[in-house]
Amino acid sequence: MKKGIVFTLTVILILSLFVSCNAKEEVKTTAETTVTVKEAAPTKELSTLEQIRKRGYLVAGVNASNPGFSFLQEDGQYKGFEVELAKAISVAVFGTADNIEFRPLTSKERFTALQSGEIDVLVRTATITTSRDTELGLDFTTPYFYDGQTFLVSGDLGITTMEELEGATIAVLTGSTTETNLAATMESKGIEYTPITYENLDEMKSAFVNGRVDALSVDKSSAVVFLHQYADAGNFEGLEETISKEPLGIAVRHGDNDWKDICQWTLYALFFGDEHGITSANIDEVLATTTSPEVKNAFGMGKEIGPMMDLSADWAYQVIKQCGNYGEIYYRELTQPMGVTRGLNKPWNQGGLLFALPFN
């Protein structure tokens, strides 16, 4: 008899625990009736790609005042090398470069905008560093541009070396690696100087052109662009010194692996086209005659890589066809209008540092 009672109580206890743990119901009693309210199931958070597709467009953080890389034209359209990289990501996701919104950000604002979810991706001359990759909670693609920091000076001052900047006022962008590199380099060499910080390039360039500072410290590519833009505005010269390494990468939020894959492999598609001589003009001819398994894989004719990233099979074909390969974009936005040469930013098979991982 006791065993039967114990068994019955045990069954009741197990059932009550099962109901309380799994049903997650709350009983509410009023004077009129008793109502059982079921707790709402937790909502699954959308991935970045799902959010972008639901919204219907990509939000990219860029610069509004860096000619050659990214700047806002008088007609309200953004133009530049980094603008084209962001458009390539739009093509990969939507099949068109038109589904994108550009968000202008200063050096100081850019990482906070990415962390907070204001933007989906940052393509804004962001140097890849340890602290940015870890402490700031960002993930970067491999570098899309290799640069280095230098100085521009007024030719009238007769300055030819960094040591001759003793006592000079030097303009620099706040919130940038340029600012920290400058401070570290000058301290290590014992050179006294006065840093004058600015939040955007236009203000900084204006201060330099109008003689309010003796020099400005910028990336070497920006120095080339400046000398091209202001050739008739005064006697300006660039120093030979390179005081830092500036590998620029596309940034996404840390842990956003699927979205980073899309940004990374879009960049690799641009590199791949460049190193194989596949351009927007000849891609159809190449694909009609190629016997290369990797070329077929890359452009959706072999192993379908796109669906692995929730993209169309021909995503990379569309990227090259609509945007051109890396070299085409570089020439169109940096070399032809601004005189910026390729330098290290050439494919590995042409003596540069750029290469795509295998499309296999």
With a cut of 50, say whether residue 33 has pLDDT above it. Answer: no
With a cut of 50, say whether residue 163 has pLDDT above it. Answer: yes
CATH number assigned to the domain covering 48-146+248-346: 3.40.190.10
Longest dimension (CA), the chain: 109
> Confidence class of residue 276 from pLDDT cuts 50, 70 and 90?
very high
Res 24: pLDDT: 41
> Confidence class of residue 200 from pLDDT cuts 50, 70 and 90?
confident
> Confidence class of residue 134 from pLDDT cuts 50, 70 and 90?
very high
With a cut of 80, say whether residue 14 has pLDDT above it. Answer: no
> Confidence class of residue 45 from pLDDT cuts 50, 70 and 90?
confident
Comparing 215 with 233, which gets the higher pLDDT? 215
> Confidence class of residue 231 from pLDDT cuts 50, 70 and 90?
confident
Give pTM, 2 decimals: 0.86
| Mean pLDDT of all residues in 78-97 | 98
Q: Could you give the CA distance from residue 304 to residue 297 in angstroms, rounded to a whole number? A: 6
Q: Could you give the CA distance from residue 134 to residue 129 in angstroms, rounded to a whole number? A: 9
With a cut of 50, say whether residue 100 has pLDDT above it. Answer: yes
Residue with tokens 């699954």: 44
Residue type, 262: I
Q: Residues with Cβ < 8 Å from 80, sequence gap 6 or more?
A: 62, 63, 66, 67, 68, 69, 70, 71, 333
Q: Tell me: domain 149-244, CATH 3.20.20.140, correct?
A: no
Q: What rounded mean pLDDT belongs to the chain?
A: 89
With a cut of 50, say whether residue 128 has pLDDT above it. Answer: yes
> Confidence class of residue 313 from pLDDT cuts 50, 70 and 90?
very high
Contact status, residue 36 vs residue 174, Cβ threshold 8 Å: no
> Confidence class of residue 234 from pLDDT cuts 50, 70 and 90?
confident
Q: Residues with Cβ < 8 Å from 171, sequence gap 6 or more?
A: 196, 197, 198, 204, 207, 208, 213, 215, 216, 217
Cα 141–Cα 144–Cα 149 angle in degrees, nearest 5: 115
Strand, helix or coil for residue 293:
helix
Q: Which candidate, 344, 345, 299, places its Cα nearest to that of 321? A: 299
With a cut of 50, say whether residue 114 has pLDDT above it. Answer: yes
Cα 65–Cα 71–Cα 77 angle in degrees, nearest 5: 140
Q: What single string gives the DSSP state of each residue in 82-119? A: HHHHHHHHHHHHHSSTTSEEEEE--TTTHHHHHHTTS-
With a cut of 60, say whether residue 89 has pLDDT above it. Answer: yes
Res 30: pLDDT: 37
Span 201-216, pLDDT tens digits: 899 999 999 999 999 9
User: What is the rounded end-to-end Cα distance, in angstroms, of the chain?
Assistant: 71
With a cut of 50, say whether residue 50 has pLDDT above it. Answer: yes
Q: Could you give the CA distance from residue 329 to residue 81 in angstroms, rounded to a whole number? A: 6
Res 196: pLDDT: 97
Residues above pLDDT 90, as percent of the chain? 84
Q: Could you give the CA distance from residue 344 to residue 360 in angstroms, rounded to a whole number? A: 26
Contact status, residue 198 vs residue 173, Cβ threshold 8 Å: yes
Q: Which candidate, 348, 326, 315, places its Cα nearest to that of 280? A: 326
Res 43: pLDDT: 53
Cα 325–Cα 50–Cα 248 angle in degrees, nearest 5: 40
Residue range(s) in the chain whose domain bears CATH number 3.40.190.10: 48-146+248-346, 149-244
Span 165-183, pLDDT tens digits: 999 999 999 989 999 999 9
Sign of torsion over alpha carbons 178, 102, 60, 146: negative
With a cut of 60, say whether residue 12 has pLDDT above it. Answer: no
Q: Within 13 A of 77's CA, how many CA atoms are on the CB side?
A: 6
Q: Could you give the CA distance from residue 103 to residue 110 in angstroms, rounded to a whole number? A: 10
